[in-house]
Amino acid sequence: MKTYVVGNWKLNFNVGEASIYLHKLLKKLPNYRDVEVVIAPSTIALQPLSLQVDRHKMKLAAQNGFYRDYGAFTGETSMSQLRGIVDYVIVGHSERRYVMGENDKMIAKKVAAAVRNRITPILCVGETENERAFGETADVIRDQVLGGLSEVSEEDIDKVIIAYEPVWAISSVKGAKLATPDEVATVVGLVRATISEVYGAETGERVPVLFGGSVNPSNAGAYLTVPGVNGVLMGGSSLILSEFIDIIDTAKRVRA
């Protein structure tokens, strides 16, 4: 199985800045066959960067996509419009859930739309600090995983990636704390157990599960060696070229 290193640029870099960063990244990035490097620029930068990217070295992801393929939906970008430009799309990120108000029903439709348009969805799940404090982590994770996958068939489940991103550990959240490897291992086990309930034990072990939450060069190795973790999803460190390269190199060493 591949190891994934995914950089979510969020609302950073204009088109010119994104192009310059990508140029520098491609110059420094070897062609790692067993490490899948993915960057998620803002939507406006995706099309020009798709003409610049070397897909043998890395892939592009969208940060979001709409669940309808066409229609009167002002301001949205459909998965069908993203098809051929990106290979991945982030769905259900905590900022979409808790800032933009997306619920599991909408997220499930987006996952299905991505699969339908041959784009691999990276389904994000994770509990808030309050939910964790009240002992609700297992219920939240189970609901988000089952909710997000509710429209995915047994034939298509292998086309989905899950990312565990505890909201309380995301660096942009006030008072964020680092998750310990043991805490990550416990929830990743919950994710896999939940998948197994619906799709079978073999599938539960096979679906790639990533971790995201203040991942940086100093802790990436610890997270990448957590049993059941197949990669990392990060924000801030993906914006700093040296840090991003360092984490990619760490993924390669762990993979070896």
Task: Summarize pLDDT for 213-222 with one digit per residue, the tens.
Answer: 899 999 999 9
Find out whether 64 and 90 touch, Cβ atoms under 8 Å.
Answer: yes
CATH, range 3-255? 3.20.20.70
Positive or negative, the Cα torsion across 47, 53, 54, 57? negative
Task: Summarize pLDDT for 199-209 with one digit per residue, the tens.
Answer: 999 999 999 99
**The one-letter amino acid at 228:** G
Other CB atoms within a 10 A radius of the CB of residue 105 amount to 12
Task: Summarize pLDDT for 135-154 with one digit per residue, the tens.
Answer: 999 999 999 999 999 999 99
| pLDDT recorded at residue 172 | 59
47, burial (CB in 10 Å: exposed 0-12, middle 13-18, buried 19+) = middle
Degrees, nearest 5: CA angle 68-207-197: 90
Give the C-alpha separation, 51 to 173, whole Å.
34
Other CB atoms within a 10 A radius of the CB of residue 86 amount to 27
The 3-class secondary structure across 3-65, one letter per residue, is: EEEEEECCCCCCHHHHHHHHHHHHHHCCCCCCEEEEEECCHHHHHHHHHHCCCCCCEEEECCC
Task: Summarize pLDDT for 31-79 with one digit per residue, the tens.
Answer: 888 999 999 999 999 999 999 999 999 999 999 999 999 999 999 999 9
pLDDT band, residue 173 (cuts 50/70/90): low
95, burial (CB in 10 Å: exposed 0-12, middle 13-18, buried 19+) = buried
Query: What is the model's pTM?
Result: 0.96
Place of tokens 């801030």: 236
Please state the domain extents for the chain.
3-255
| pLDDT recorded at residue 140 | 97
As annotated, the active-site residues are: 93, 165
Give the C-alpha separation, 247 to 226, whole Å.
15
Mean pLDDT of the chain: 95
